[in-house]
Amino acid sequence: MEYNLKGKTALVAASSQGLGKAIAETLVKEGANVMLTSRNDAKLSEVRAELIDLQRGKVSFISGDITNASDIEKIIDQTVKEFGGIDILINNAGGPPAGAFEELTDEEWQSSFELNLFSYIRLIRKSLPYLKQNGGKIINIASSSIKEPIPGLILSNTFRTAIVGMSKTLASELAPYNILINTVAPGRIATDRVRHLDEVNSNKAGVSIEEMEEKMKGQIPLGRYGAPEEFANVVAFLVSDANTYMTGSSFLVDGGMVKSI
């Protein structure tokens, strides 16, 4: 299967680690030019060096806070300045804090809204003039909570599902421009975020983090956590020329964990 990503430009948010980094690496291997971004300048520099060593697509980076509108403008403008446009937008952000409804403050709700939903809105809005030029692809990274709410993660359960509603609506609005938009939702992928959640749950249950990991793996039909590159491969397909007719859909990458239909 030919992905035909060589020479395409992708902006990957939150790409200094975790799923964002894995997606960026996969796209670079396919020949895409990738703009990395996160708040951590030092980590971005390290990732850029790693990806340049692959000797495939071009790689650059710009630090910024995607909860800040002026930073988003700076990120988009720099991407266009360096690569001439944007063909692929990967919306991604760190997960909000765990907590039950009565434990969370107004500030935590507002912060999660700005990070996990409003940042996606702003990135799409600012990228649209460039995506419209030749048609483009948008991927919104969410969570398996879009299909099955996760206990103790009401912030994620709320704002991740809002992403799905936005994506479904935009699929119709952007179709005349041949822009395809999809949501990709990870289950238990072996990242620092999942490690942190396992730690939180193990402390609550009074067991070791290793015991908690084994318990969680027991709920996954494939019996293991996914590798970040397995998740990234799904994203790469959806943003490639191999995908010409799938838009407005949500895809779980969870090893069969979620039981909903």
pLDDT band at 2 (very low <50, low <70, confident <90, very high): confident
- Residues 179 and 190: their CA atoms lie apart, in Å, by 31
Q: 15, 21 in Cβ contact below 8 A? A: yes
3-state secondary structure of 111: helix
Question: Residue 105 burial (CB < 10 Å; 0-12/13-18/19+)?
Answer: exposed
CATH numbers and ranges of domains, the chain: 9-187+227-253 (3.40.50.720), 190-225 (no CATH)
The predicted pLDDT at position 61 comes to 98
Tell me, what DSSP letter sits at residue 226? B
The predicted pLDDT at position 201 comes to 86
Answer yes or no: is pLDDT of 230 > 90.
yes
The predicted pLDDT at position 17 comes to 96
Query: What are 154-166's pLDDT values in tens digits?
Result: 999 999 999 999 9
Answer yes or no: is pLDDT of 113 > 90.
yes
